[in-house]
Structure 1
């Protein structure tokens, strides 16, 4: 370690009240300080935040152009931040319209880092189920190829990004939250944890339930078998208030249920989960935290889809289905079971190597990326023109499909009109026949005929 105070920036959505997002700067700072000594970690997001209202200071990305030359390293992520859709969170937009949304808190900082030779490190972000628009493809391809360390948190993200370039080396890294045991010692409960338990009335073993909708099967189990769950209290805990989590969603008639006086700081929330006998909920980082501390997690998420598929490799995670009755004995037997998980040990070793590499890249200093960046800017007008033409061709293709559908619709409409006219003519002819004199005169004969056929049939 040197006497230098390293200046490192990390980018993500650290300005919103969401447990998982708030963890990443805290984990990065702890891991880098253990390897580099003095580290000043700058958390960058759209909007600035300050203590004591926020767990740590957050700098607005609008300040990055002024500060980029002072940085020794840039980390992108983690979390689900490699995205191009506009609905990141309700009302969440850049501080100025000049900053693109939502790439302003991840892609633009990456390009700035490369332009100034700052080591660019992908700190296990995710992007599954998020398409890459044509205009962004050359930009993203460039950042991947010039980054010395690209780690993403799931195989789906890896597959999408690897398809952009044969040169870029994109690898899968477990979410850095699996390293939480390096920050929290459950054998030595913190004073903040003891005080919070006292304030909330938690005076014995407890379960944590995520304060969201969709957990009716568990809530019914808790109410119906109250006597069976008598040894435990139930802590109602919001994980992402910015996403609408609130204790009131779970109802007010839950036996032995308590809630906290305030939403806890992220590491205190992690400690609460680590001391639980069981955790019930949907959140990705709720599940990861439970798994990291060996706490059984009953997840309402679809574990066979998206980022959640990686969690099936760990022992201690159990799926909960919304419309499926839970066997009470099955549930109780799994509470409090803390078993050794080989996959968890492997993941934490992967994370140790990751942070070693990150620290080494930072100490190596600035990288010679300005020349390829200058070449890219030189070719940018052509790329933009190609993108515009590709977009025009795509629009023309979509317009052709639309015209074809319109023609088919007109043909169907015409056919429907012809059928309507034919039916109208048929009804008129039938009506005219029923009103004719010959039809009335022959009515008795038709009646005899029908009766005769009936008798023959018998």
Structure 2
């Protein structure tokens, strides 16, 4: 009679997130292929039931009653090795007795060890987070007593491996790389064909994750839609629980289609497998595309955390929000191609993983109770140490509170002094203000007086200037009169000289005339002068004596 194996798998299978929902489906298929009949108990915080959910989920509140019936415990996959409280919006345990968030991964691992159940780490991961001090001994025990510890990326391995030298922590590709074992891309399913018809997809299409942060791609499509005339867009939410929704991409994308329902995980995987490319941030959107040779245009930082595991698989391209996309480059990289060598090798590694998981399940219970018992023996010491540490912290806290109270009193005293100083400063400022206003008024009066004086000075200067101008004119007139007087005096002097010369000449002429008249010749020529005067009269000529 074939055995019906009872296997528990633990993670966040109760949230609407594509990657988380894949893990139980893949585990069921791979274990059934190797073990035959397998009843897979999917444990998460909250119970779910088909057909409203892709499968039944058992609430972790039932784990204490069911744990003893399990033949194996699988932890993960997904980003579940974490200690922060913000896993998803309003996502908390169903009861306060279940720790959050270790209640869906670390606590089940410890319960498995207590029950001697094979504990298998099914490639879970971390993402840029560490391990708090209080959890270190618990996680160390879980790692050291597990026969198969696989995590999905090197950063997770590095963080966990440093907790223990005895634990063997190894990297395994995410189990979603094995989707090609579950979906035959050469034979589309009826559900897939119905989805194409419902969405109105009649051409090759690109899957676009319905999230914020794809501005560079949206700008490419809006600006160069004509270059991609032969392509359509399929807008798909990958993680509705994380806020994915078609509306965030807008309603102005040419040839964009969407579905009126959120596809169940394998249908969503098949839609990805038949696309010409995927655009988005999701880790498992990228892995699903890589598994079928579909190019990935990722808005995630491929150099950080879990995403560092992806570039080795090739044809995964980094999109940046602040960097425009070359339309010809984008188009040249569209289209499915044979899977990369790394992707094919990942499938081989996963086959080996599932073979080992099946082998461990067949081997049955393990001798983990002694280690757990020793832990229980040491637990009072640890609790006592924690209590002592808490007491020291409490004492230190009380002292700190007293110090704070004293400081607060000092601060209050300083504040009062400051207030008094402020009042004094304000009083002096008011006095200074009034004195300043008084001085300002005086200065204003002096300024007005100065302005009046300046105006009077300007007026006097004007009058002085006019007087100066008149003095200049008078001086010029005086100079002219002086020159005229000198010229007149010179002229008078010349006239007196001429008169004296004329008088002297007349005197000489008179003496000469008297001498002539007294001469004998004058007397002898008297008759001739008479005849001459007569002739001149006859001739009409003037006569002169």
Q: 1:222-301 alignment to 2 at 5 Å? A: 222-301=221-300
Query: Separation in 1 of the partners of 2:214 and 2:397?
Result: 42
The verdict on how the C-alpha distance between 1:224 and 1:397 changes in structure 2, with shifts beyond 3 A counting, is farther
Range with bigger deviation, 433-442 or 332-341: 433-442
Equivalent in the alignment of 2:182: 183
Are the counterparts in 2 of residues 433 and 439 from structure 1 also a CA contact under 8 Å? no
Kindly state the Cα deviation for residue 298 of structure 1 after the two structures are TM-superposed: 0.7
Query: Separation in 2 of the partners of 1:82 and 1:418?
Result: 57
Cα-to-partner distance string for 1:168-214 (whole Å, 9 max, x where unaligned):
11111111111111111101111111111112111220001001111
Are the counterparts in 2 of residues 135 and 384 from structure 1 also a CA contact under 8 Å? no
Matched, 1:334 2:333: yes
Structure 1: state its 5+ residue gaps. Answer: 448-458
Are the counterparts in 1 of residues 44 and 57 from structure 2 also a CA contact under 8 Å? yes
Equivalent in the alignment of 1:62: 61
The verdict on how the C-alpha distance between 1:437 and 1:207 changes in structure 2, with shifts beyond 3 A counting, is closer
Q: 1:26-45 alignment to 2 at 5 Å? A: 26-45=25-44
Matched, 1:90 2:85: no
Equivalent in the alignment of 1:113: 112
Cα-to-partner distance string for 1:111-166 (whole Å, 9 max, x where unaligned):
11111111000111112333333332221111111111111112222222222222
Would you identify which runs of 4 or more consecutive aligned residues in structure 1 move more than 4 Å? Answer: 391-404, 406-411, 413-444
Query: Separation in 1 of the partners of 2:392 and 2:162?
Result: 22
Q: 1:300-311 alignment to 2 at 5 Å? A: 300-311=299-310
Query: Separation in 1 of the partners of 2:430 and 2:103?
Result: 69
Kindly state the Cα deviation for residue 13 of structure 1 after the two structures are TM-superposed: 0.7
TM-score by length of 2: 0.75
Kindly state the Cα deviation for residue 400 of structure 1 after the two structures are TM-superposed: 8.1
Range with bigger deviation, 94-103 or 126-135: 126-135
Query: Separation in 1 of the partners of 2:394 and 2:196?
Result: 59
The verdict on how the C-alpha distance between 1:175 and 1:388 changes in structure 2, with shifts beyond 3 A counting, is farther
The verdict on how the C-alpha distance between 1:426 and 1:156 changes in structure 2, with shifts beyond 3 A counting, is farther
* Higher Cα radius of gyration: 2
Equivalent in the alignment of 1:76: 75
Q: 1:83-162 alignment to 2 at 5 Å? A: 83-162=82-161
More helix by percentage: 2
**Secondary structure, aligned partner of 1:261:** coil
Equivalent in the alignment of 1:456: none
Are the counterparts in 2 of residues 221 and 328 from structure 1 also a CA contact under 8 Å? yes
**Secondary structure, aligned partner of 1:147:** coil
**Secondary structure, aligned partner of 2:33:** helix
Equivalent in the alignment of 1:316: 315
Query: Separation in 2 of the partners of 1:212 and 1:399?
Result: 48
Are the counterparts in 2 of residues 69 and 116 from structure 1 also a CA contact under 8 Å? yes
Query: Separation in 1 of the partners of 2:128 and 2:390?
Result: 21
**Secondary structure, aligned partner of 2:226:** coil
Query: Separation in 2 of the partners of 1:78 and 1:265?
Result: 18
Equivalent in the alignment of 1:46: 45
The verdict on how the C-alpha distance between 1:79 and 1:418 changes in structure 2, with shifts beyond 3 A counting, is farther
Q: 1:403-442 alignment to 2 at 5 Å? A: 431=433, 434=436
Are the counterparts in 1 of residues 144 and 167 from structure 2 also a CA contact under 8 Å? yes
Range with bigger deviation, 94-103 or 273-282: 94-103
Query: Separation in 2 of the partners of 1:313 and 1:379?
Result: 44
How many residue pairs match? The answer is 446
Equivalent in the alignment of 1:375: 374
Kindly state the Cα deviation for residue 393 of structure 1 after the two structures are TM-superposed: 4.9
**Secondary structure, aligned partner of 1:376:** helix
Equivalent in the alignment of 2:21: 22
Matched, 1:325 2:350: no
Kindly state the Cα deviation for residue 263 of structure 1 after the two structures are TM-superposed: 0.8
Kindly state the Cα deviation for residue 410 of structure 1 after the two structures are TM-superposed: 5.2
Query: Separation in 2 of the partners of 1:288 and 1:47?
Result: 27
**Secondary structure, aligned partner of 1:235:** strand
Kindly state the Cα deviation for residue 34 of structure 1 after the two structures are TM-superposed: 1.9
TM-score by length of 1: 0.88
The verdict on how the C-alpha distance between 1:232 and 1:427 changes in structure 2, with shifts beyond 3 A counting, is same
Are the counterparts in 2 of residues 134 and 387 from structure 1 also a CA contact under 8 Å? no
**Secondary structure, aligned partner of 1:74:** strand
Structure 2: state its 5+ residue gaps. Answer: 451-545
Kindly state the Cα deviation for residue 353 of structure 1 after the two structures are TM-superposed: 1.5
Q: Which has the higher contact order (CA 8 A, sep 6+)?
A: 1
Query: Separation in 2 of the partners of 1:253 and 1:168?
Result: 54
Equivalent in the alignment of 1:168: 167
- Aligned Cα RMSD in Å? 3.0
